[in-house]
Copies of this chain bind each other. A is one copy, B any other.
Amino acid sequence: MNKVILVGRLAQDPEVRYTQSGKAVASFNLAVNRFSSGQGQNNADFIPIVAWEKLAETCGNNLTKGQKVLVDGRLQIRSYEANDGQKRRVAEVVAQSIEFLERRQAPASSGDAGNTDINSFGKDVYPEEEIPF
């Protein structure tokens, strides 16, 4: 059992990258307010969220900065080598599903662009299974 359930707002637009083998991976920070029934406080945890494959593309196509979502996932500790050569650990939530809690207005000229089409992203290439960020 490793379950995380968060309600918050995207601190930025999701960034969608691709592994070498072409798997999509989306990432963004979720601003989760600390006293969640409250209203007036500006005290939040900024929690890194990662989504893979089909869910990653849904994120890229449908989510934007400020949007309120519920993230259901698991907490993962990932090791990486920092710039100074040191091994460091980072925690992130690997999303298993994301529920939109707010309808977003369609982008300015619908039928056209916006960042709503994942295929408009260039496919940067990354080593397979290594998260590209």
Contacts and interface: CB of A to CB of B under 8 A. Distances in A.
A34 B75 CA distance: 10
B4 A3 contact: yes
A7 interface: yes
Interface residues of A, number: 30
A5 interface: yes
Contacts of A46: 77
Copies of this chain, how many? Answer: 4
B2 A101 contact: no
A1 B37 CA distance: 9
Interface of A: 1-8, 32, 34, 36-37, 45-47, 68, 70, 72, 75-77, 84, 90-91, 93, 97-101
Instruction: Please give me the 10 A-B residue pairs with the lowest Cβ-Cβ distance, nearest first.
Output: A91-B91, A1-B7, A3-B5, A45-B77, A101-B101, A2-B32, A4-B4, A36-B99, A2-B6, A1-B70
